[in-house]
Chain A
Amino acid sequence: MTVPAPFRSLDDPGLAGEYLRLVGDSDEHGAVRLVCELLDAGVAPQRIMMDLIAATQARVGELWAANEWSVAREHAATAISERALAAVATRTSVKPYRGSITIACVDGEWHALPVRLLAEMLRLDGWRVDFLGANVPGQHLVTHLHQTGPDAIALSCMIATRLPRAHAAITACKAAGVPVIAGGRGFGPGGRYAQALGADAWAAGAEEAVRRLARNWPPHSPDPQLSAFLGDEEYTYVVRQRGALISTAMATLAETYPRVRDYNPRQLDATTEDMTHIVDFLAAALYVSETQIFTDFIEWTAAVLEARGVPPVALRVGLEAVRTQLQDFPTATAMLTAGTQLVK
């Protein structure tokens, strides 16, 4: 039996809530049906992608950060949104008339949905799109460029710790003669770090990227070797001593914060991971010479830990445990101090 679909519009009150509930319940069928009804009602696919799927995804991230949704539910919801996006994509087609573009997440970067959205938005704008997906190692990316010769590459980085690898990828793409547009929160507020890393352009989101690529592309590009090296001896030290910094900090933590000694292996792994993040974000901040990379991370972590009932003293002790090991390094020490001051 077929029931005529109700007339749907993005302005329907409660539509966003309904979709969020569907993805949150892993209801693939329901979510796909909803976006198809919107398409049938004549809603532009771009609006469904941006105003419904992308907007909901942002909400899902917030729900996870606020500890209202588990990681499992967040991942499941993302998987459902990918299916809904695929459904929109298969039901819309545009003849490519612009150039070809390769889209990839930087090595170690797993947030594929935002880039998949970008891929579909560009396809609808007339680009021939090669979507390489999440976590694309630099060598694979460069091989792909040599084999397909695209007119542009869009590189996404959502987490600042991947910036050194993003930089290597950007330099390699540009050395292969392909201009790079960067995107994602990892490149900092307003894409500030993207320029330091040698990207030719930056876009805050998929729509901005579509607009940017539609005019004045390719931009004039200086020799990539001019921006090929970043970081200094402090960065080198932190990266090379990463393992020792983390282990020593964990030992210090167990002395100053005795509860750690009673942790089970899983809790210990989680704590080690937090410590790893502190060191990795510090390294990224040193690499780009931007204290804000580190302080933004600390602010975010403090909020996430607070939502999970972890007392702020744990984070402060962790920061201190790293700082005491880096006393000879003024920039790193200043960054750690700035971070500590943010923890209440």
Chain B
Amino acid sequence: MTAQSPVTTGDRLVDTPAPALLRAALDAASEAVLLCGAADDKILLVNAAASALVPELRPGLAAGAGPLPGLAAAIAAGQDSFTDEFAGRHLHGQRRPLGDDHYGWYLRDRTDEVARAGALQAERARTAFLAEAGRRLSASLHQGRCLRITAELAVAHLADAAIVVLPVKRRQSMWVRLVAGGPVDEGRLRENVLPDVPGLVEVLGGFPPIPSKWLDAAQAPDWLLPGDFGPVGALLVTPLPGNAEPAGALILARRGAEAQFSPDDEMLARIFAARAGAAISAAGLYREQVDTTAVLQADLLPPELPQPDGIELVGSYQAAKEALRIGGDFYDVFGPTEHSSDTVIALGDVCGKGPEAAVLTGKVRQTLRALRLVEAKPDEMLRVLNQALLQSARQHRFVTMVVGSVSRADHGRVRLNLATGGHPPPLVLRTDGTVEEVPTSGTLIGAVARTVVHPAEVELAPGELCLLYSDGLTEARGGPTGAEEYGEARLRDALSGCRGMPGAAAVERIRQLVSDWVHGGARDDIAMLAVRAPDRTQLSLRTGARNASPFALDAPRRGDRRVRQRS
């Protein structure tokens, strides 16, 4: 095949337009065409469009030897299409056979198409990033978590390292740092090192951010990033907008000499920082509220119980389904004082619910604490409390409660002097499993000027238990219909079933039975306080006690004096 141009070969082309005309027609086409010989893949003709696209392509050259590696690979692999990049242009080539001996590569410039697709993809990535940021940042009200999430998101989408710095408080700044692939570092920075980071003080001061290109990354101090991070190529310091003052600053770093933050990157970082700042400052507000509540709440929560010698005390408090964990039920225990060896116990229920009721329980408990110091008897305590409440209460609120003084008696027994003011009388679980009601009664506290209180005394033998409870327990509605009250009969049965259990196990069991009864329905506050005379022996729950002696010595728990007395 020696012809210079394929159009002149073969008989079929006789009486056809001159080659020059065909050539002109090809040159006028907008599509780039390379005509090649099928046998040796040599280029026979390059039209004007193809020359403009890739000037290096010339007739006589092997098609694969040109500057297009994609084309070479397609020829080598016998493929019919290729894509390639040349001088910033994206090319797509399609091979079409032209008779048996020739074929053509038809090239198309798809640079604009690629750029559009790229822009669309970048836009989608930005949207997805901001959507993820919104979702994750709005999820937590915990400031530390918000800071960590901010750093994580920034490292995943914006930079090789991210540092969040909070505003200075007491000459220190909290900061969180994350480098891609590493763990989150948290700590505090002294105020005087902050000016080391270019642009940081300005941003924390509420001034507009300085564009990345004006920040000299080389000036970043050594402490800013871990030693193995390498040289910082580009630095961006973005404000985290907060509640009318900056919530902090976000420092982004990219490594490598070529690194930079484009104006688009800076804009995206600012949009992200706005969301992060809102979340961080909301979490800050929440924390202030929580701290305040915690201080106010501390005195209203159930107390740590003292564990006086020879008396087992167990308390349990379950607030109605509210997050605050405080309500109108309460119990308290005041241990022995210098003048009195008695332990004073109290359990009560303020009418109403929630914080208002809780505040009154705090007052009642404080009054009782004072009365305990003047060694008032339980029934006297109730009378004085009644007067105090009647004189002080702004709104009409009354209380029902049981007060008792607990002391040790001989033979490991425990004696209780109990007085009730309008409250369900305590129950006593005896060794044989019978349950008795303590015969005490009295009128509401804080309702009428004159109260009537009939105190009662009970003695517990070792292993016996006295349960003080609030009516939230017996009035818990549930059961199969969801509306039936738990009731005293069931409570007595449940208590009877606790025979031989340690106090903690007994109280836990009753809590559990009531919780099962209400089946997660709306609950009132439930308070329980159990006083138990500890077992003197490993009182067996099975038939045939393991230990034959009724007074098995249990030295660590009982005083030496008592042991000597016995022996």
Contacts and interface: CB of A to CB of B under 8 A. Distances in A.
Chain B binds chain A: yes
Interface of A: 21, 24-30, 70-73, 75-76, 78-80, 82, 107-108, 110, 134-135, 137, 139-140, 142-143, 145-149, 165, 175-178, 223, 242-243, 246-247, 250, 265-266, 269, 272-273, 275-276
A299 to B, nearest CB: 22
Contacts, number: 125
Contacts of B136: 177
Task: Give the most central of B142, B504, B506: most A CB within 10 Å.
Answer: B142
A176 B140 contact: yes
Nearest to A243: B481
Interface residues of B, number: 52
Interface of B: 135-136, 139-145, 149, 286, 290, 321-323, 325, 479-483, 489-490, 493, 497-502, 504-506, 508-509, 511-512, 515-516, 519-520, 535, 538-542, 545-546, 554, 556-557
A27 B546 CA distance: 10
Nearest to B545: A25
Contacts of B499: 72
Contacts of A176: 139-141
Given A108-B520, A146-B141, A147-B142, A26 B500 contact: yes
A25 B290 CA distance: 45
Nearest to B502: A79
A78 B520 contact: no
22 contacts: A25-B542, A25-B546, A26-B500, A26-B535, A71-B497, A72-B499, A75-B508, A75-B509, A76-B500, A79-B505, A79-B508, A82-B504, A108-B516, A135-B512, A140-B325, A142-B323, A148-B142, A149-B142, A176-B139, A177-B136, A178-B140, A269-B490
Contacts of A148: 142
B287 to A, nearest CB: 8
Given A70-B541, A137-B321, 6 more contacts: A21-B546, A28-B502, A72-B498, A135-B511, A139-B323, A146-B141
B72 to A, nearest CB: 41
B142 A76 contact: no
Task: Give the most central of A76, A82, A142: most B CB within 10 Å.
Answer: A76
Contact of A143 (B323, B498, B546): B323
Given A27-B538, A79-B502, A175 B512 contact: no
Nearest to B286: A146
Contacts of A165: 520
- Say what secondary structure dominates the interface of chain A: helix
A242 B482 contact: yes
Contact of A110 (B142, B498, B515, B545): B515
B538 A135 contact: no
B515 A135 contact: yes
Nearest to B463: A26
Given A28-B502, A73-B541, A247 B140 contact: no
Contacts of B286: 146
A24 B504 CA distance: 16
B139 A72 contact: no
B481 A247 contact: yes
Contact of A29 (B149, B520, B557): B557
B509 A139 contact: no
Task: Give the most central of A25, A246, A265, A266: most B CB within 10 Å.
Answer: A25
Contacts of B497: 71-72
Task: Give the most central of B136, B542, B556: most A CB within 10 Å.
Answer: B542
A267 B44 CA distance: 102
Given A24-B542, A71-B497, A247-B481, A76 B505 contact: yes
Given A21-B546, A145-B142, A243-B482, A110 B501 contact: no
